[in-house]
Amino acid sequence: MVSGARERDTHALGGRTPLQRVLAGVVAVALGVAGAILAAGSPAAAQNPCTGVTVVVDFGALGTEPETGCAAGPADGLDALVQAGFSVTEVASIRGMVCRIDELPETDCGASPPADAYWSYWHANAGDEEWTYSIVGGADASPDPGDIEGWVFGDGSEPPAVAPIDAVAPAAPEEESGGRFEYTWIVAVAALAVIGGLAAWRLRRDRRA
């Protein structure tokens, strides 16, 4: 009789036992959470514009295209370079003078580079159409949110090929919704734990029946 009642109950529920329905719910929640996490980390979600300091690096004659990055809250111009994702090597004998960016050029950094082959430093405010050659070095600069920093390798006569008004960089990792991403994980784990506990309780109850 008990078996027959269970079969009728299962039929009434569309061929699924309560436990199967709970497990199906677990799978549905897991898929939903996975979709939310993938959406949070997808390129489309990562295209928020930089609200910190936009950094443009023009490698000039070194042969690669200009690159941009975003610094969330740099202490100075060199820190902005690093926060924007570029590696920096300073001239050993001159504080704050840049010798290499992303290991270019391949040269010794003991002494000052030649006047026709060095990293010149440029600055622009938000909305500016033209660059201004910086009168201070990167170590002495204090870029503010919204500023655009430029570095170009050459003789210092030409600014970066990308105009400051056209310089666009995605938000820095610190500016992305890391808190929301972590919150999604917390909610996901909590939800799955609750549903998993309910599934285990249902299983124990059915076994005792």
Per-residue pLDDT of 132-141, as tens digits, reads: 999 999 999 9
Mean pLDDT estimate for the chain: 79
d(CA 141, CA 136): 6
Which amino acid is present at 75? A
64 confidence band (pLDDT: 50, 70, 90): confident
Domains of the chain by residue range: 2-44+177-208, 53-166
Q: Report CA-CA distances (Å) from 107 to 91, 103, 113, 139, 197.
A: 11, 9, 9, 21, 62
Q: Is the pLDDT of residue 117 over 80?
A: yes
- For residue 177 the two structure tokens come to 């919704």
CATH architecture, range 53-166? Beta Complex (2.170)
- For residue 110, give the amino acid letter: G
Nearest to 74 by CA among 88, 55, 53: 53
**pLDDT score recorded for residue 192:** 62
pLDDT of residue 45: 41
